[in-house]
Structure 1
């Protein structure tokens, strides 16, 4: 044993196995005296590890559950297994655990030696989850870099692909990584544009922390409001083309202030409504609230959204 610290870590590693250790076994394993074992056990207790000691022929020392979570020591294969599990939680999401999964993955990734990080990436690349595969899947390595930069208040250079498919460099100061309906968003100050921006994490490529400190900070209370405004601005909009089984005057009355720059045109015994631009969610809500039969001519996204609503509401 090289020294007290290494010995203490070795003792903790032994106690984390699911068994009791006699004082003689520990002394033999650590190559120390019984007195040193007792002193090291007391030191672990001072550090918050709940080490229980029992007397008798089958007694010994073991680590039990306490009131708080102390640091753990993991073997190489255990660390790889935990990292792979956290990558799954971070990317594919579990309700209420997305953010915790990324924070835990970031902490673990920063402490893994390069050889284990390589193993985690290799094994992660060889696995897949059927129900979550798709173009919006995010690279867990991207998440860990962005989360670490936000926590460390460090600037990042990255490549970002916009909604229209164009890609270019960005120089940002990450503020917070947020999970919203199974999508990850980065709230950051864009140094090139001189303003706060929200980035889809699945469109971020090759993020690299620069080591330079961030100088801008968005108050925590302002983050939700910023996300709401950014999400509304990023949501795609469409113009509905719908035939309403209503006379034009009744259709106009029921749409009222929601007509905007849309148009109502008489068509046979009904009305053709060409709406103002808005999201498919809002357009579907307006159609369902009008209270009449209708036929959707377009766009396909609106028809698909209404089909989804119908499937969810069928008995």
Structure 2
């Protein structure tokens, strides 16, 4: 009986992988005959697991049922899910915090002690950063579905200054920086690739007609849009430091580094505040020159005079 139960658990684990299994392949994995596989599949069906027959290959797959069946996870998968749920509990998708905590509680109750210790150890030494604006799960799912199905997406978009516009796009992919969600899409009105913050986006349903995907922009172009495109001010600086050194210190979602020569590089970044840009650059610890915007140069002069005046005579 124990051998049969263990075999059923292994069969269920195999069927949960994203592939179709032939009866022969399952028999080889389980070390039994084809007839035993058929009987075990019938037992799983009697227990409520929707095992579908795959036409043409005499095989099987685990279908979607009326209720969620128990998931069989190996050690690494269980730890990854637990850490992901902990992150989601304080994450940037609005409304899933409570659900994440409930799911995490259920998972930790059944984790072996060795895995529970690993999860808690990782959590104890990890620092959860301050997140950016949250976005509703409905918006994430609507944009992700349109991107997957290659359907045009129209949405109301609020810019950094509060101006609202209606955009018609061919959505390509979602980018999550750990602070915010972004959509990379072809803007049909501007005839160019654009990056949109999801927390400023309200989809118009239903979606539009299907489209043929265009050649995607390079990752560097995507991260450049994430780093500066969604902000009120876009800035460019010349840093007196090698590009490889600054690339290790500045994430691609914060700024884009371009080498100039062996001892200098250019930084393109953005912010909604001139003071924020000035403070960030002052804390980098390297000499720099402001190329743009002009108003940042004026603001740094004002801040310099104010700081100088604060020093004792």
Do both proteins adopt the same fold according to a TM-score greater than 0.5, normalized to the shorter chain? Answer: no
Normalised TM-score (structure 1): 0.42
Q: Please say which structure displays the higher CA radius of gyration.
A: 1
